[in-house]
Amino acid sequence: MKKTKKSVTPLNFTGGWDYAPAPESKDHVQLKDRYDLFINGAFVKPLSGKWFDTINPATEKRIAAVAEAGEKDVNSAVTSARKAYDGVWGKMPAKERGKYIYRIARIMQERARELSVIESMDGGKPIRESRDIDVPLAAAHFFYYAGWADKLAYALPGATPRSVGVTGQIIPWNFPLLMAAWKIAPALAAGNTVVLKPAETTPLTALKLAEIIQEADLPPGVVNIITGAGTTGAALVNHPGVNKVAFTGSTDVGKIIQKALAGTGKRYTLELGGKAANIIFEDAAIDQAVEGIINGIFFNQGHVCCAGSRLFVQESVMKTVVRKLKDRLETLVVGDPLDKNTDIGAINSRMQLEKIKKYLKIGVNEGGEMYQAACSVPSKGFWCKPTLFTNVSQSSRIVQEEIFGPVLAIQSFRTLEEVIEKANNIPYGLSGGVWTDKGSRIFKVTGELRAGVVWANTYNKFDPTSPFGGYKESGVGREGGLHGLMPYLQHV
Amino acid sequence: MRETRSALRYSVTESPAIDQVGVDERVSRMTKRSIKKESKLQALKLAMSMLDLTTLEAKDTPGKVRQLCIKAMHPHDLLPGIPAVAAVCVYPNLVRVAKETLEGSGVKVAAVATAFPSGMSTRKMKLEETRWAVGEGADEIDMVISRGQFLAGEYNFVFDEIAAVKEACGAAHLKVILETGELSTLDNVRRASDLAMNAGADFIKTSTGKIQPAATLPVTLVMLEAIRDYYYTTGKMIGMKPAGGIATAKLALQYLVMVRETLGQDWLNPDWFRFGASSLANDLLMQIVKEHTGVYQSIDYFSKD
């Protein structure tokens, strides 16, 4: 490849013809001013007597108040889940169970627009993503697992599959509705009942899902949705009536849960952090690889456990790739999550923004060269410009630690052996990406990367039929596909 | 001598691989941009000013070409502020008529040459035709590449042909038609783009309009990316012209989004980007009028020439 001429002025992406604001309407969205806990098929006031506000991270304005479930509330949710399991759901013919799950999926599709707008309002993610990815994929998970409900015998040939009982599920704030679907759908298909706790900053779509579950006429207590923060989650994990815990979130909390569960006999799956290596070889389709890197790290503001946050570029194309990334950064639209043209929305919370800022400072102090898009960001709300770091190394903290924001750390490599060693040299092992035009190299790299998911010449592709989960500090267990059914079944 | 020099100036190994799935995904992202209100009106007018209003039929006559030229200069005088198109594109034997009609208007005359659309002729004839078209007054020459030789891997032949036509053009601008509908893969589109730019093209153009598929968004993206890389390598700007199959304003705006996000603002003018089209003009006009009045008018309110 020919080298870039030094004297060339960079392309100009500012001024001139621009896109006018194109905000998605939120007139059709119906939100209550205050949400109670969804227990035993009805919304009930919390025994704790406490509520807290959930805000729009793009405006810092309050959207609604949600209940804070205390220990007694958790107990009441688990008790109703147990009653529903023993009395109805556990005994129901599998085919009937499937019908309910299909019904949830269909209602989600019918209300897709409302769900995507709320998802963007509550969490800050661009409407393009919630409309095209989060909501359709969440419905797809319900459809997929609904199909398994009466075919469990085929999932475990030679064994008689049995459900586990009451499952306690805790989900994160980055994909609120999608994670609820990942957790609830397989649990129900396998015949379990559910107590789900959404994250405190993004509880609204889970509560909307509770309304959908009501509308689908699911027997009371089969799914209970309780809101709250860490203490609520801890009460759920530690409740003796829970048979299985499913958690998606940070590695720190995952470790606490694992300790708490040791010796209790409760089953658990943990889907934790990541620091994926995205590897570009010199023969890759460079422009498409650059697009893949952009999607890999800036999808959902980088609030993605499998984000491609470490980039390894073969040295011969390093300059070209970095130049192309910088040009692409200038065309990313940062701003109002409800605008249909927005590529990068708001950071989910002030706390997360502070964490990202802390890492930016660390990166600069460590000698990293920081490059940010020239875009402006709104004065209200939580924002971080898309950021690239070059001149970093394996020992840099921004290379080793999960930032969970729109920050990409770029390193070069010379040989395949070197890049595999560096890619695996990290406490995490959730995902990875490889970009090359050579098929044999794809197999070599994917075979040697210690990561649960490795994408080749693409990134961040999800499908309900495909298992997802990590090695090492990225967690235990798999979600999605046939594998995702296993944690919810006893093999008798 | 010439063969050696060519080999030094273009080798297929300098063209990067193209991944079709990735190209399609990027295109789909860009087609989802929402263009509304003032942004839409501005883009519609911009697209109008980038038109190469084209008639390339064997039944073309001086009368028909004259009418088209008047449309080119006065697309819709009922509404002030609508720009004239960039050029009128005709066969070489009608260049003189077009030139006379467009005299002093600033609208350019483009002529297809080099045994358009097939290119199945000798180099001597192609060069002669080019010189003749320029002599008749063509400001721009739209040549076709020899696809047969290209697909046979005779890159030097194609390279030298383009270089020779460029020389024959003199002061006239050269647009090189790759006829991407016959090149089969995006890898080939990229190679042909790189080859044409290195050989002296001022513009690269997708299609003759006589072969299906003609211009598509994925093919155009690959060509724009080739232009971008060439710019960074040489410092030279090359123009882009998708042609054929672009009949609606909505599609035209998607092309503009692609230019904006691939090459930036400097390419968003008729000097560096053109649409080869005929029926697109009236759809653009219809949308422009709609932006002003709020209602769509019947197609009978727009002149068909």
Quick: pLDDT tens for A335-394. Answer: 999 999 999 999 999 999 999 999 999 999 999 999 999 999 999 999 999 999 999 999
In A, minimum Cα distance to B266 occurs at A12
The verdict on residue B69 lying in a domain is yes
Given A3, A8, A128, which is nearest B235 (Cβ)? A8
Q: Which of A7, A9, A19 to mutate to test the interface with B (most CBs of B within 10 A)?
A: A19
A7: nearest CA partner in chain B: B235
pLDDT category at A21 given cuts 50, 70, 90 is: very high
A89/A346 Cα distance (integer angstroms): 40
According to the model, what pLDDT value does residue A3 have?
Answer: 63
Residue A242 φ then ψ, to 5°:
-90, 130
Summary mean pLDDT of chain B: 95
Asked if A1 reaches chain B (Cβ–Cβ under 8 Å), the answer is: yes
> Which of A5, A13, A286 lies at the smallest CB-CB distance from B235?
A5
Q: What pLDDT sits at residue B4? A: 44
Sign of the dihedral through C-alpha A98, A101, A105, A106 = positive
A6 lies within 8 A of chain B by CB: no
Question: Is the minimum CB–CB distance between A332 and chain B shorter than 8 Å?
Answer: no
Token duo for residue A385: 């410009």
Taking CB atoms and an 8 Å cutoff, what residues of chain B touch A287? 16, 18, 22, 26, 225
Nearest to A19 among B39, B233, B263 (CB): B39
Do the domain assignments include residue B43?
yes
Asked if the Cβ–Cβ distance from B261 to A12 is below 8 Å, we say: no
Asked if residue B158 is part of any domain, the answer here is: yes
Distance (Å, whole) CA A472 – CA A449 = 12
CA contacts within 13 A on the Cβ side of A486: 14
Q: What's the average model confidence in pLDDT over B173-195?
A: 98
According to the model, what pLDDT value does residue A331 have? 96
Alpha-carbon gap, residue B230 to B238, rounded angstroms: 8
Q: Give Cα separations from B36 to B44, B108, B253 (angstroms).
A: 11, 31, 11
Interface of B with A (CB under 8 A): 14, 16-19, 21-23, 25-26, 32-40, 42-43, 46, 225, 228, 231-235, 256, 260-261, 263-266, 268
- Tell me which fold the domain A34-272+474-491 belongs to: Aldehyde Dehydrogenase; Chain A, domain 1 (3.40.605)
- Say how far apart CA B59 and CA B51 lie, in whole Å: 22
Nearest to A209 by CA among A226, A193, A192, A191: A226
State pLDDT tens for residues B231-257.
999 999 999 999 999 999 999 999 999
Q: How would residue B2 be classed by pLDDT, with cut points 50, 70 and 90?
A: very low
- Residue B29 is part of which domain span? 2-8+19-301
**B37, B234, B266 ranked by CB distance to A12: nearest:** B266
B252 contacts in chain A (CB < 8 Å): none
Whether residue B16 and residue A287 make contact (CB cut-off 8 A), yes or no, is yes
First to last CA, chain A: 60
pLDDT digit string, tens, across residues A134-148: 999 999 999 999 999
Q: What is the pLDDT of residue A24?
A: 96
Give the domain CATH number at B197.
Answer: 3.20.20.70
Task: Give the minimum alpha-carbon distance from A21 to chain B in angstroms, rounded to a whole number.
Answer: 8
Q: What does the alpha-carbon distance between residue A304 and residue A321 come to, in Å, rounded to a whole number?
A: 23
Does pLDDT of B63 surpass 80? yes
What is the rounded CA–CA span in Å between residue A35 and residue A44?
Answer: 9
Contact criterion met (CB < 8 Å) for A4 and B233: yes
| Identity of residue B31 | T
CA distance A294 to chain B (A): 11
Domain boundaries, chain A: 34-272+474-491, 277-456
Q: From the CA of A77, how many Å to the nearest CA of chain B? A: 43
Asked if A13 is an interface residue toward chain B (Cβ–Cβ < 8 A), one would say yes
Higher pLDDT, A461 or A157: A461
- Mean pLDDT computed over B222-239: 97
Cα(B103)–Cα(B139) distance, rounded to whole angstroms? 12
* Segment B103-118 mean pLDDT: 97
Query: Who wins on pLDDT, B4 or B51?
Result: B51
Nearest to A22 among B18, B36, B228 (CB): B36
List, for residues A104-118, the tens digit of each pLDDT value: 999 999 999 999 999
Question: Does residue B213 sit in helix, strand or coil?
Answer: coil
Could you identify the residue written with the tokens 């509520």?
Answer: A51
Amino acid code (one letter) for A387:
T
pLDDT in tens, B279-304: 999 999 999 999 999 999 988 999 98
pLDDT of residue B291: 94
Would residue B14 count as lying in a domain? no
Q: For residues B64 and B57, give the distance between their C-alpha atoms in angstroms, rounded to a whole number.
A: 10
Q: Are A453 and A437 in contact (CB under 8 A)?
A: no
The pLDDT score that the predictor gives to residue B5 is 46
- Contact list in B for residue A3 (CB cut-off 8 A) is 233
A-to-B residue pairs, Cβ atoms closer than 8 angstroms: 102
In a domain, B258, yes or no: yes
Q: Is residue B166 part of a domain?
A: yes
Whether residue A5 and residue B18 make contact (CB cut-off 8 A), yes or no, is no
Mean pLDDT of A59-76: 98
- Judged against a pLDDT cut of 50, whether residue A40 lies above it is answered with yes
Considering its fold, how many domains does chain B have in total? 1
In the prediction, which pLDDT does B14 show?
A: 87
On whether residue B13 sits in a domain, the answer given is: no
Residue A290's identity, in one-letter code, is V
Q: Which numeric CATH code is attached to A277-456?
A: 3.40.309.10
Q: Is A331 on the interface with B (CB under 8 A)?
A: yes
User: What are B285's two structure tokens?
Assistant: 């006009």
Contact B22 A287 (CB under 8 A): yes
User: At which residue do the structure tokens 């100036």 appear?
Assistant: B9
Which residues of B are the active-site residues? 142, 205, 241
Looking at the predicted structure, is the pLDDT value of residue A5 above 80?
no
pLDDT band of A1, cuts 50, 70, 90? low
Distance CA A216, CA A63 (A): 26
- Tell me if B204 is assigned to some domain: yes
Across the interface, whether the CB atoms of A22 and B34 are under 8 A apart is answered: yes
Q: Do A17 and B260 touch (CB under 8 A)?
A: yes
- Compute the nearest-CA separation of B299 from chain A (Å): 28
Interface subset of A 392-451, CB within 8 angstroms of B: 437
- How many Cβ atoms sit within 10 Å of the Cβ of residue B49? 18
A277-456 and A34-272+474-491 share a CATH fold? no
Q: H or E stretch including A206? A: helix A204-215
Q: How confident is the model at residue A7 (pLDDT cuts 50, 70, 90)?
A: confident
Residue B95 in this model has a pLDDT that exceeds 80: yes
Q: What is the chain B residue with the closest CA to A435?
A: B19
